[in-house]
Chain A
Amino acid sequence: MSEHIATRHTLVAERPTGAAPRPYRFPEVRRVTVGGGEVVGAHVPGRSLAWVKLVMESGALHEPVGLDGLARITCSLLDEGSLDRDADAFGLAIEALGANWRLACGWETQEVGLDLPADRLDAGLALVAEAVRRPAFADGDVERFLADHVRSLKTSWAQPGTRAGLAFRRALFGPDNRLGGLLGGTPDTALALDADAIRGFHADRMTAPGTLAVVGDLDTIDLAALGRTVFAGATGTATRANLAEFAGAPSTGRVIVVDRPGAVQSVLRIGHTAPPRSTPDLIPIELFADVLGGAFGSRLNHLLREVRGYTYGAHASFGHGRRSGSFTVSASVHTEVTAAAVVDTIGEIRRMHADGVTPEELAATRAHSLGSMPINLQTPGGIGGRLVEAIVHGLPDDHVTAEYAEILATDPDAVDRAAHTHLRPDELAVVVEGDADRIVPDLRAANFEVLLSDV
């Protein structure tokens, strides 16, 4: 407190105490099996927007070896023309509905759909069906799109952090595992993609019915009719991708440097593999991760930004896939303080591993986690994201409501145990993308072995 601060105004000194938030309940979920597929709907009446997505087992792990990025590009081409209309006409049809085309490409699954004014849902869903079931993949469109894709990958390759991300994934999962590459591939891998590969991937992976997720007023939406529309013409059954053993063996004493000559900042990616979403420790992990690097007042952001001034922001989070996961600390720090920022980061990970969280930190992060749930789930898209999570990971319909209860019930010991188990401070992959000439001497002086990456 700073009671001594002079002000000519009359301010209320006493901090008000508020009322506890009302418990959150996820909307009612309804399921319909129809036309060989399943429709999963969340009932959200009274909203002007609706949201729909088709979830398919067609993520990057399904790509043939050597064709990194094929899954994403195939998904991205779905709205570039169908057998019924060309690319421009399809784009115009989407925009005429006031809709936003949405796609998400993951390692295991992909989603394609849209959000739009609620009264246009049927027309929008018909366009999703048209795109997925009857894509044209016309030579001209594919050629144009691939060239554009290569150029945009080159642009993204030049952005700070992209190459660090690749070096980080390689260190975690090994260079031979698909998880050790970038989801969307690189400018080099994109050169191997062509129209035949794209048509083949669609035929192999994207013709099964999939699962349709819908958010809207289910009292006025006919879920079965939506399902019949989007599953019509679907064939086959989706299977899960093979996943080889991960081969990474990172060590905290070794820094992998990705050279970026002249860079005024260094991008840090520090972390290791983590358990998949099915871990029983999911909630305790999320709670200590929030304390370590999630909230604004997290230990990492506090130290690196608010105390040291090294960065605009430092973050840590766990990603929980279906069969793999990762723990990642990210920050951009100015070149001169790179080694010091790496040391500080590792120090905070060690401290969390050894000592866990304080009761005050746990109380704050628990309140933040609970309170932010309804804030982040105000829109159909926000609710849809949790619905897709249930579909991808096979969770019960009330998983969000159950999560709320579990966060409330988690005790400090469980959080500390999770930190001790799931942080591995001696097995961190430490990747720094920055000006090697300027940062390597400092890193060596801080007793790190330095490995120059060929990324």
Chain B
Amino acid sequence: MPSTSAHFPWTLHRTRLDNGLRVVVCPDATVPLAAVNLWYDVGSRHEVEGKHGFAHLFEHLMFEGSAHVEKGGHFAAIEGCGGDGINASTSPDRTNYYQTVPSGQLELALWLEADRMGSLGLTQETLDNQREVVKNERRQRYDNVPYGTWSEEMMVLAYPEGHPYATSTIGSMAELDGAELADFTAFHETWYAPDNAVLTVVGDVRPEQVVALAEKYFGGIAPRGSFTQPTPAPLPPRFGAGRHLTVHRDVPAPRLFLCHRAPRFGTPDAAAASVLATAVGRGRGSRLYRELVTARNLAQASGAFLSAWNHLHFESVLMGSCAPSEGVEAREVLDAYVAVCDEVAREGVTEAELDRVRAVLSGEWLREVATAAGRADAIGRFTTRFGDAESIRDHLDELLAVTVEDVHRVARDLLHQDNRIVLEFRPQAAEADAEIDTTEPEAAA
């Protein structure tokens, strides 16, 4: 039975079509809109060696036309009907496609999404074009930006070679150059199926109307039946040895990135890990901010010294970063950062700190579900991860229920010195013409 809760007061209607497509409708007559969101359970974690970046490049190709839609026609149709907020994104875990339209245009949005789920209008010309676009996306986000490659470099350190999370979603230039048409027709055939997707509609719509339209447009798409999932060996809860890697790059100042292995989203300790990260490293009142910025002026101000990445499928990470203040050595700020983590691992956090975290997370949740599009995407995430949209109602309650004992327990593991990888970026010396990588042992604690 559908229920309601104070933190998610909206009704949810859940249906599964005969072909396996899960349809979730969240009526909200306060907006004259329909947010239409599709979560496909495919991401860069499904990519194979030599073909990294293909899930994301494929996402681009989904806008390049399908059986009844011309290249660029998806954007044109949605914008032309008064829609907005159109985009898609690819993560290690999933690929989502979304748009918000006037509620009277719901049917058009469903037709467009169904057409590209069931067919792909791919040509060598569109592949070549979008390959260049993605290479420019890589330049703009990674290669031409100071520190731009840090997360890509960190993933290689944080996961064993061949692990589904060991590579970036963007892929390398060489792999993108090697992409062929057949790769993408196969990708579509393998992963873009109704039984691998969640369709969520939020807004001024009637559930029976949405289900009837979903049946009309998606009902003729055959299910795939099964989806081969990567099965990496489970990783130990901690890295097992601390590491500190220093790289020299074209950056204006030193900066530290710190990675800790953490539980995957939805597992018993994941909520406590999120609360821990917020207590220690997120926001003006966090331990790290108060110690590194206000009290000691060692680090540049940052709203996120430590945060939980909440990967859905395999072991996740708590990721940190920090930039030394002017005139402060990276070593000094790292020591102070680690000292804060050690103290929390040793003594935990206070009830007052937990109250702050609860207020912060409650406010964030209200903002996340405040728009039809935000709510639709969150519903897609919970349905994909837990198999049931209703699980969204418990999300904030689980975070609010975390106790100081829970935080202390996970802190002892996660913030342990043998569960920390430090990646240090240093400016290239003027005379250096090559990257010099050095490893050094983590300072003895």
Of residues 284 to 343 in A, which have CB atoms within 8 Å of B's CB atoms?
295-297, 302, 305-312, 332-334
Q: For chain B, which range describes its interface: under 10, 10 to 19, 20 to 34, or 35 or more residues? A: 35 or more
Instruction: Report how far A11 CA is from B220 CA in the complex, Å.
Output: 6
Cβ contact within 8 Å between A374 and B370: no
Segment from B37-45, B247-255, B437-445 that makes contact with A? B247-255
Q: Give, as a whole number of angstroms, the nearest-CB distance from B33 to chain A.
A: 6
Type the 1/0 row for A151-195, where 1 means its CB is closer than 8 Å to any CB of B. 110110111100000000000000000000000000000000000
Q: Does A65 belong to the interface (CB within 8 Å)? A: no
Instruction: Report how far A265 CA is from B72 CA in the complex, Å.
Output: 25
A48's partner among B100, B134, B253, B370 (CB-CB below 8 A) is: B370
Q: Does B143 belong to the interface (CB within 8 Å)? A: yes
Cβ contact within 8 Å between B71 and A371: no
Cβ contact within 8 Å between A157 and B252: yes
Q: Does B11 belong to the interface (CB within 8 Å)? A: no
Closest to B193 in A: A9
Contacts of A152 in B (CB 8 A): 300-301
Q: Does A147 belong to the interface (CB within 8 Å)? A: yes
Cβ contact within 8 Å between B66 and A91: no
A264's partner among B31, B101, B143, B372 (CB-CB below 8 A) is: B143
Instruction: Report how far A49 CA is from B363 CA in the complex, Å.
Output: 9
Instruction: Report how far A91 CA is from B30 CA in the complex, Å.
Output: 34
Cβ contact within 8 Å between B325 and A116: no
Type the 1/0 row for A17-33, where 1 means its CB is closer than 8 Å to any CB of B. 11111101000000000
A334's partner among B120, B136, B325, B359 (CB-CB below 8 A) is: B136
Instruction: Report how far A288 CA is from B86 CA in the complex, Å.
Output: 21
B139's partner among A47, A92, A265 (CB-CB below 8 A) is: A265
Cβ contact within 8 Å between B326 and A151: yes
Contacts of A308 in B (CB 8 A): 132
Contacts of A20 in B (CB 8 A): 102, 104
Instruction: Report how far A425 CA is from B439 CA in the complex, Å.
Output: 55
> Given contacts A144-B297, A309-B129, A378-B31, are A160 and B145 in contact (CB under 8 A)?
yes
Cβ contact within 8 Å between A99 and B363: yes
Contacts of B424 in A (CB 8 A): none
Closest to B70 in A: A1
Cβ contact within 8 Å between A378 and B222: no
Most chain A CB within 10 A, of B146, B283, B367, is at B367
Most chain B CB within 10 A, of A2, A364, A372, is at A2
Q: Give, as a whole number of angstroms, the nearest-CB distance from B161 to chain A.
A: 27
Instruction: Report how far A332 CA is from B283 CA in the complex, Å.
Output: 32
Instruction: Report how far A240 CA is from B33 CA in the complex, Å.
Output: 41
Of residues 361 to 400 in A, which have CB atoms within 8 Å of B's CB atoms?
363-364, 367-368, 370-372, 374-376, 378-379
> Given contacts A5-B119, A147-B326, are A371 and B83 in contact (CB under 8 A)?
yes
Cβ contact within 8 Å between A1 and B68: yes
Q: Does A148 belong to the interface (CB within 8 Å)? A: yes
Q: Give, as a whole number of angstroms, the nearest-CB distance from A361 to chain B.
A: 10
Of residues 360 to 390 in B, which have CB atoms within 8 Å of A's CB atoms?
360, 362-364, 366-367, 370-372
Contacts of B222 in A (CB 8 A): 8-9
Of residues 114 to 162 in A, which have CB atoms within 8 Å of B's CB atoms?
115-117, 144-145, 147-148, 150-152, 154-155, 157-160
Closest to A305 in B: B133
Type the 1/0 row for B221-243, where 1 means its CB is closer than 8 Å to any CB of A. 11000000000000000000000
B360's partner among A49, A95, A378 (CB-CB below 8 A) is: A95
Contacts of B31 in A (CB 8 A): 374, 378
Q: Does A409 belong to the interface (CB within 8 Å)? A: no
Of residues 122 to 151 in B, which have CB atoms within 8 Å of A's CB atoms?
128-137, 139-141, 143-146
Contacts of B115 in A (CB 8 A): 11-12
Cβ contact within 8 Å between A296 and B82: no
Cβ contact within 8 Å between B67 and A372: no
A92's partner among B68, B70, B108, B284 (CB-CB below 8 A) is: B284
Cβ contact within 8 Å between A334 and B32: no
> Given contacts A49-B370, A151-B253, A154-B252, are A15 and B82 in contact (CB under 8 A)?
no
Contacts of B130 in A (CB 8 A): 309
Contacts of B360 in A (CB 8 A): 95, 98
Segment from B73-81, B265-273, B331-339, B413-421 that makes contact with A? B73-81
Instruction: Report how far A308 CA is from B176 CA in the complex, Å.
Output: 17
Q: Give, as a whole number of angstroms, the nearest-CB distance from A336 to chain B.
A: 11
Q: Give, as a whole number of angstroms, the nearest-CB distance from A46 to chain B.
A: 6
Contacts of B72 in A (CB 8 A): 296-297, 302, 306
Q: Does A263 belong to the interface (CB within 8 Å)? A: yes
B146's partner among A16, A117, A159, A296 (CB-CB below 8 A) is: A159
Q: Does B244 belong to the interface (CB within 8 Å)? A: no
Contacts of A115 in B (CB 8 A): 367
Cβ contact within 8 Å between B69 and A1: yes
Cβ contact within 8 Å between B143 and A2: no
Contacts of B100 in A (CB 8 A): 375
Contacts of A9 in B (CB 8 A): 118-119, 220-222
Q: Give, as a whole number of angstroms, the nearest-CB distance from B57 to chain A.
A: 13
Type the 1/0 row for A96-112, where 1 means its CB is closer than 8 Å to any CB of B. 11111000000000000
Instruction: Report how far A15 CA is from B74 CA in the complex, Å.
Output: 12
Q: Give, as a whole number of angstroms, the nearest-CB distance from A76 to chain B.
A: 10
Cβ contact within 8 Å between B67 and A11: yes
Question: Which 5 pairs between the two chains have the least Cβ-Cβ distance?
Answer: A371-B82, A309-B132, A98-B363, A10-B220, A91-B284
B residues engaging A (CB < 8 A)?
Answer: 30-33, 65-72, 75-77, 79-86, 100-102, 104-108, 111, 114-115, 118-121, 128-137, 139-141, 143-146, 216-217, 220-222, 250-253, 283-285, 289-290, 293-294, 297, 300-301, 323, 325-326, 355-356, 359-360, 362-364, 366-367, 370-372
User: What 15 additional pairs, Cβ within 8 angstroms, besides A147-B297, A265-B144, A367-B79?
Assistant: A5-B119, A11-B217, A12-B217, A13-B68, A16-B108, A91-B289, A95-B359, A100-B363, A117-B362, A117-B366, A144-B293, A148-B325, A296-B72, A334-B135, A378-B31
Q: Return 26 A-B CB contacts under 8 Å, by A number.
A: A5-B67, A11-B119, A12-B220, A15-B77, A16-B111, A18-B101, A22-B102, A88-B284, A116-B363, A145-B301, A160-B144, A265-B139, A265-B144, A295-B79, A306-B72, A309-B129, A309-B132, A310-B132, A312-B139, A334-B136, A364-B80, A371-B102, A372-B82, A376-B84, A378-B33, A379-B370
